[in-house]
Structure 1
């Protein structure tokens, strides 16, 4: 693919100021927002079991956040395309704040419908968190898009590591406010998420996407008219089908996400069956999260310097290594922790360059919808992978699950050869 030439408008003083303001706003929002939604996968699981008193309904509630992120990604992207990033991201974060408040209400009322609805709305925060990485590229120079995207991914590390532990300060809130157990973490989350929405509304001025769209001479983007079609998903799909690099990027994104989520979901169960302590399980997941986010800026620099496709292929090597270590060392807690760390790193090495490649490979008018379709597809595939991973492990065991997750590299390598 030819190198992109930076358009002159990106060097304008007003655009440079807007770029710095956008980056600072997105960084602050990602830290606050990731903290706010961080309790969902940890405290949310316990709350689901407490409220439902049923493994079946608890499973539905646990998957609801991922389902919500998948359902809301495309509408938020459509809103961004029409009204800009500011309204779309603020809507996502404020929707998640409402979801956290509903989770508090579900604990108070012991209500399953409120629980499921609250978890679904928490998915709006997850969708906004993903969309923010694309917002970071709206005003970035073509040569720096991947590193700008990676910075926003990276700052989410803080919330991803600390957010699941909101249950501890939540206990103090419960004691002071008279709330039932597990409600305090989501009361804190509701405040943090509302603050995130306020930061976005105040900080994303001018709106980065609208500012970029006003400069029709954007020579650093793939230009072209809007892709025909009334339905947003159909328009996005047509744009992706028309661009082989976009098809390759979307395939890479989805399969890396399925591989990561499928194995990560069942790792705590596998370790517990082998006598691992809660502390060891927590350490393993923390190492996995660090693998996902800690080196994202390095990956972004590499993608800008060496190209998106070579870095995506390097990620396939890391994912394959994770599968080998996980399958061969399933009986060792240390080997499983190493495999999960490699899995998180492989996800990062694929996701950062593939997101940048997807964004730059389609016409600018269709870009927000394509980005939303990519996020929606990732989350839908992740939900199916999480649901299927339990039966797969029950039938063939964790080593086979790890090996099967490694097979996702095959379609990507074949697609790269055709590309």
Structure 2
């Protein structure tokens, strides 16, 4: 296949820098909202339901809610652009956070469940924002563009869990249950992120990418002449989705039950907050490394690295002494790192496979699968720990991560035969 004379895809669009700057601001704010449910959601449910076996239900609910929200945000972004889709998603996340606080005040379990479903919109939107970072990026820089958006979540996500005690004390002064305190922070954080994106995300990256694709077709991608476009599209989407789905399933299952595991062994809420802060920091802070590795060595290689890291994390979480906060922090840190490798690699694969014309819709559908995987992991995690042990859950997660390795090996062997034209396109 003949290369075109101009290669605008070799460099970012001029508007990319501003788009990334606005996304970074919004992600810093939303990170605190994301951390609330992770840190105290299971503990709040355990307190209100008076049982451990259902303590994984909050994670399952807000993850299930994020599945529906991912589809809605993807569809809204497809129709009206990233600005409208992301701002709306964060607004619903703020509403859900307020609902959780009200449910805790009135000890209303039914309202808690409904509110957690709506709260999940914030989680879905936080992840959907990574796609917006890649809309105007050159294929050779997609990994780093995605990682820039993800790493911005780190500040709020790390600070959030460490404000658990502060927000708990403050909420008690206001007559609100201590464990509902972090959701007050979540409401403010998601609301602020919605306002920032709604007012400032201009030009809209997806709408601009579509115009560029129409005006300059070679901006989007080259087609590998040795492979039918539809066949390659389907294969790439399936592979990218598998990487992210398995990474999410393993990560959510182990992460959800770690605070419960620590509480059962006498650790304080503050100690659990530290471990979760390390975990969330490891999910997002190494994102630049994940992005650089994807751009340098390819998505398949990084996906394999993610699977191996998740396996090691599961083994360490299973065998580290329950009395060791440091050991659990290292295990959860590796769990977050493995997830980062998988998410950045999978996102780059999906973005490179789908043209701007139907990109948002496809990405939303893929994120539904990711959210459902997380919901499954959250729901099953409590049952596994109640019926067996936390160690069994961690070991099982590591084994599931191994399922990625055969897929990675097959995909890597196929990608190693792709011509230069396809490499330049980011495929």
Q: Identify whether the pair has TM-score above 0.5, normalized to the shorter chain.
A: yes
Q: What is the rounded CA distance, in whole Å, between the counterparts of 1:11 and 1:143 in structure 2?
A: 8
- Tell me if the contact between 1:64 and 1:116 (Cα under 8 Å) persists in the aligned partners: yes
Equivalent position SS for 1:206: coil
- Counterpart of 2:276 (choices 264, 279, 285) is 285
- Tell me if the contact between 1:5 and 1:219 (Cα under 8 Å) persists in the aligned partners: no
Question: 1:105-184, aligned counterparts within 5 Å?
Answer: 105-170=102-167, 174=171, 181-182=178-179, 184=181
Which of 1 and 2 has higher RCO (CA within 8 Å, sep 6+)? 2
Aligned to 1:243: 234
Aligned to 1:339: 331
Q: What is the rounded CA distance, in whole Å, between the counterparts of 1:242 and 1:9 in structure 2?
A: 19
Please report how far the alpha carbon of residue 240 of structure 1 lies from its aligned counterpart in structure 2 after TM superposition.
8.9
Using structure 2 for the length normalisation, give the TM-score.
0.83
Q: What is the rounded CA distance, in whole Å, between the counterparts of 2:284 and 2:4 in structure 1?
A: 27
Aligned to 2:373: 381
Aligned to 2:197: 200
State yes or no: 1:351 paired with 2:343.
yes
State yes or no: 1:300 paired with 2:291.
yes
| 1:101 to 1:7, Cα distance in 2 relative to 1, 3 A | farther
CA RMSD of aligned residues (A): 3.2
Q: What is the rounded CA distance, in whole Å, between the counterparts of 2:100 and 2:303 in structure 1?
A: 38
Please report how far the alpha carbon of residue 408 of structure 1 lies from its aligned counterpart in structure 2 after TM superposition.
2.5
Q: What is the rounded CA distance, in whole Å, between the counterparts of 1:211 and 1:199 in structure 2?
A: 19
| 1:322 to 1:100, Cα distance in 2 relative to 1, 3 A | closer
Structure 2, unpaired ranges of 5+: 224-228, 412-427
State yes or no: 1:70 paired with 2:72.
no
Aligned to 2:416: none
| Residues 82-123 of structure 1: CA deviation (Å, up to 9, x unaligned) | 110011001101111222222333344443333222221111
Q: What is the rounded CA distance, in whole Å, between the counterparts of 2:168 and 2:265 in structure 1?
A: 31
The farther-off stretch of 79-88 and 403-412 is: 403-412
Please report how far the alpha carbon of residue 64 of structure 1 lies from its aligned counterpart in structure 2 after TM superposition.
2.0
State yes or no: 1:400 paired with 2:407.
no
Aligned to 2:410: 418
Aligned to 1:22: 19
| Residues 252-271 of structure 1: CA deviation (Å, up to 9, x unaligned) | 11111111112222233334
Q: What is the rounded CA distance, in whole Å, between the counterparts of 2:242 and 2:123 in structure 1?
A: 21
- Tell me if the contact between 1:329 and 1:335 (Cα under 8 Å) persists in the aligned partners: yes
State yes or no: 1:191 paired with 2:183.
no
The farther-off stretch of 400-409 and 153-162 is: 400-409
Structure 1, unpaired ranges of 5+: 225-237
Q: What is the rounded CA distance, in whole Å, between the counterparts of 2:46 and 2:191 in structure 1?
A: 26
| 1:395 to 1:118, Cα distance in 2 relative to 1, 3 A | closer
Q: What is the rounded CA distance, in whole Å, between the counterparts of 2:394 and 2:56 in structure 1?
A: 22
Equivalent position SS for 1:299: helix
State yes or no: 1:88 paired with 2:95.
no
Question: 1:203-282, aligned counterparts within 5 Å?
Answer: 203-215=200-212, 216=214, 217-222=216-221, 242-282=233-273
Please report how far the alpha carbon of residue 55 of structure 1 lies from its aligned counterpart in structure 2 after TM superposition.
6.2
Q: What is the rounded CA distance, in whole Å, between the counterparts of 1:84 and 1:103 in structure 2?
A: 29
- Tell me if the contact between 1:318 and 1:343 (Cα under 8 Å) persists in the aligned partners: yes
Please report how far the alpha carbon of residue 381 of structure 1 lies from its aligned counterpart in structure 2 after TM superposition.
0.9
Equivalent position SS for 2:38: coil
- Tell me if the contact between 1:21 and 1:203 (Cα under 8 Å) persists in the aligned partners: no
Q: What is the rounded CA distance, in whole Å, between the counterparts of 1:173 and 1:335 in structure 2?
A: 31
Aligned to 1:35: 32
- Counterpart of 1:320 (choices 301, 311, 314) is 311
| 1:366 to 1:195, Cα distance in 2 relative to 1, 3 A | same
Q: How many residue pairs align between the two structures?
A: 402
Aligned to 1:233: none
State yes or no: 1:100 paired with 2:92.
no
Using structure 1 for the length normalisation, give the TM-score.
0.84
Q: What is the rounded CA distance, in whole Å, between the counterparts of 2:43 and 2:191 in structure 1?
A: 23
